[in-house]
Amino acid sequence: MSPRIDSKTHKPRLDTSLVRRDILKLLAGAVALPALIHPASLSAAQKKHIWKTAVGLNGFQSGTHKYRKNYPIWEVLDFASRHGFDGVELVSDWPSGGYPAAGEKERVQALRRLYDLYGLRIFSIQLGAGGAFDPSEAARRQWLDEFRNRIQLAQQLGCDCVGMWPGGGLRGQTLDQAIEVLAKTFHEAGKIAGDAGILACFEIEPVFVFNTADHYLRILHGSNHPALKGIYDPSHFDQMNGATGKPEELLQKVGPRNIGYVQFCDTDSTLRDGGTSKHLGCGDGHTDCAKGLRMLKEGGFRGWIMVDEWEVPDPYDACLKCKRVIDEVGARK
């Protein structure tokens, strides 16, 4: 998740540099490198699991805004490294500014080095996709041009995926027209991402104009490209499945092989005050968190599972609760 417009639409800004005092703190912390998980040791640990696990920076970003808490980036990355996570998903406006453009090579390299320092992969970056269903063809082409630049950035950062959130209004279209337009644009996005060896993955949620199981399936199948896949988020799937506490029922209809990556959490089938699905640490809601993971495992999903701590008061606690379930289900037999 991410800041408003909607809960997950990120309009990129162009300042990723940390302030000077923060960089000095980070570099001072580098003397403690022996305590960090080294990339070489991660490869051995990963052999024990069928999935790669990640921390979503969205939870820390949302906690900063909603609860006025401070999460220094080096503290978050040190936590993820010490607890055996393999990577992170970036958000565009946290901790400082938006993504660099693909052509800003030095800034891109500096961003990647920060995560390399902690032995973590940047497996995905979150992108807004409101322009992908704009009724104006010129606006949609502009969005695709921006998307192409973001895919080039994702390549340089070593990403396997990018996430897309089509938020915004219908702008004079009917819902059916908007879905048709979005699917066509996402098909083109799939081509761009696929040519770069990256999966383009989308998510919809209650605060969007696209917010039902039917919408999800129509967008997925209408896009019709092997590099265009869905994101499985149990809290959103639960809402689209009638808020029954059984998100795995919709997952079965979508199919595990149509999932590009997972944003994992528990839920109590209610909404946050901002209108989107409530995300919780595993055991704090009422779903069978392991059931959906077992379905993914049996269905052949072998990608990234990110803990989604959107607006959870204690994202560290949610990460640990969710990772225990992921590790248990994903252990190699």
What pLDDT, in 10s, does the model give residues 250-307? 999 999 999 999 999 999 999 999 899 999 999 999 999 999 999 999 999 999 999 9
pLDDT of residue 228: 98
Q: What is the pTM of this model?
A: 0.88
Q: Which two tokens stand for residue 69?
A: 């808490």
Taking residues 122-131, report their average pLDDT: 98
Fold that domain 20-27+35-330 belongs to in CATH? TIM Barrel (3.20.20)
Whether 27 shows a pLDDT value over 80: the answer reads no
Whether 43 shows a pLDDT value over 60: the answer reads no
3-state DSSP helix/strand/coil % of the chain, to nearest 5: 45, 15, 40
Taking residues 104-121, report their average pLDDT: 98
Taking residues 19-44, report their average pLDDT: 42
Confidence at 48, pLDDT banded by 50, 70, 90 = confident
Q: Tell me how far CA of residue 47 lies from CA of 29, 184, 186, 290, 293, in angstroms.
A: 29, 38, 34, 20, 18
pLDDT of residue 2: 37
Domain boundaries, the chain: 20-27+35-330
**Is 133 in a helix, a strand, or coil?**
helix
pLDDT of residue 172: 98
Confidence at 23, pLDDT banded by 50, 70, 90 = very low
Confidence at 47, pLDDT banded by 50, 70, 90 = low
Whether 111 shows a pLDDT value over 70: the answer reads yes
For residues 154 and 12, is the Cβ–Cβ distance under 8 A? no
pLDDT of residue 45: 52
Contacts of 303 (CB under 8 A, 6+ apart): 51, 52, 160, 161, 199, 259, 260, 261, 262
Whether 15 shows a pLDDT value over 70: the answer reads no
Whether 39 shows a pLDDT value over 50: the answer reads no
Among the residue ranges 10-14, 233-237, 289-293, the one predicted with the least confidence is 10-14
Q: CA angle, corner 87, sides to 2 and 298, nearest 5?
A: 95
Q: Tell me how far CA of residue 79 lies from CA of 36, 55, 90, in angstroms.
A: 9, 10, 16
pLDDT of residue 265: 98
For residues 162 and 187, is the Cβ–Cβ distance under 8 A? no
> Which residue, among 209, 210, 207, has the nearest Cα to 230 in the 3D structure?
210
Confidence at 163, pLDDT banded by 50, 70, 90 = very high
